[in-house]
């Protein structure tokens, strides 16, 4: 399928969290392919650097900024490093996420708190840092990679994940409302099951996969590049009147 770059993000600075692999990596590469300078965050320094190197091979400027998005001090330091590297910030993609699997009946509190800290508090911390910079510029775009699990599609044994993703959707709308005054657009993207390391265990469960696939009108799982393609559009001026929306990228599984 041809998803070659049709957007021009030259002179734009984009920061993608959790971009060492999976969807975040695809988003970083998509922006790099459109000429953006890309700040590549991941908790894992080696994978962040690997993605940054892949972006550079596409001809883009890219720098790895390893940090735990749940750590307020580390996030502030990361944005200070971004300031030192580039004089502006045009797009933030809050993508970093974790998905522990536990029954509510014996969910470890630590896993619950860590999931909310990474998926939701991490989104807040990075948004706060980015929005301060974007307000000074008078424009910017923030994209939150949520999930259909946070809207209308309960998964199973993923209560902390679903709660954090629903939180991201609510936060997106609140942020879109508040930050519009500064020319900042904020949207959420809610993928269905996308082929990444996160869903490897899920995809190995043949019975569950058969059931899941039978409920997807397009009849297949998604690819990370298909999520990245929506990010490019939402970040572009083609979407200049679009804010506060949670977009499904799920092959039609949820039409609500």
Interaction site with ligand NAP (CB under 6 A): 17-18, 20-24, 41-44, 47, 68-70, 95-99, 118, 122, 145, 147, 191, 193-194, 196-199
In whole angstroms, how close is the CB of 158 to ligand NAP at the nearest point? Answer: 10
The residue (of 35 and 248) whose beta carbon lies closer to ligand NAP is 248
In whole angstroms, how close is the CB of 199 to ligand NAP at the nearest point? Answer: 4
The residue (of 10 and 156) whose beta carbon lies closer to ligand NAP is 156
Identified catalytic residue from 7, 156, 161, 182 = 161
Q: Is 161 a catalytic residue?
A: yes
The residue (of 28 and 35) whose beta carbon lies closer to ligand NAP is 28
In whole angstroms, how close is the CB of 185 to ligand NAP at the nearest point? Answer: 20
The residue (of 154 and 197) whose beta carbon lies closer to ligand NAP is 197
Torsion sign, CA atoms 148, 2, 29, 240: negative
In whole angstroms, how close is the CB of 221 to ligand NAP at the nearest point? Answer: 8
Name the residues annotated as catalytic: 161
């Amino acid at each position: 399928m041809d998803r070659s770059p049709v957007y021009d993000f030259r002179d734009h600075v984009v920061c993608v969290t959790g971009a060492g692999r999976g969807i975040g990596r695809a988003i970083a590469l998509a922006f790099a392919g459109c000429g953006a300078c890309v700040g590549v965050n991941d908790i894992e320094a080696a994978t962040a650097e690997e993605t940054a190197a892949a972006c550079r091979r596409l001809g883009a400027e890219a720098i790895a900024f390893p940090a735990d998005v749940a750590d307020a001090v580390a996030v502030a330091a990361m944005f200070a490093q971004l300031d030192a590297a580039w004089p502006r910030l045009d797009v933030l993609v809050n993508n970093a996420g974790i998905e522990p699997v536990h029954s509510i009946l014996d969910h470890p509190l630590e896993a619950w708190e860590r999931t909310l800290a990474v998926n939701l508090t991490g989104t807040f911390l990075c948004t706060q840092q980015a929005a301060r910079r974007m307000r000074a510029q008078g424009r910017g775009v923030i994209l939150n990679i949520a999930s259909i699990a946070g809207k209308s599609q309960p998964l199973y044994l993923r209560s902390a994940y679903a709660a954090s993703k629903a939180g991201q959707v609510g936060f997106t709308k609140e942020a879109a409302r508040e930050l519009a005054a500064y020319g900042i657009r904020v949207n959420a993207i809610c993928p269905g099951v996308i082929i990444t390391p996160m869903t490897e265990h899920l995809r190995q469960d043949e019975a569950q996969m058969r059931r899941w696939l039978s409920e997807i009108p397009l009849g297949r799982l998604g690819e990370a590049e298909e999520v990245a393609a929506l990010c490019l559009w939402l970040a572009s001026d083609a979407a200049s009147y679009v804010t506060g929306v949670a977009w499904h990228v799920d092959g039609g599984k949820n039409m609500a």
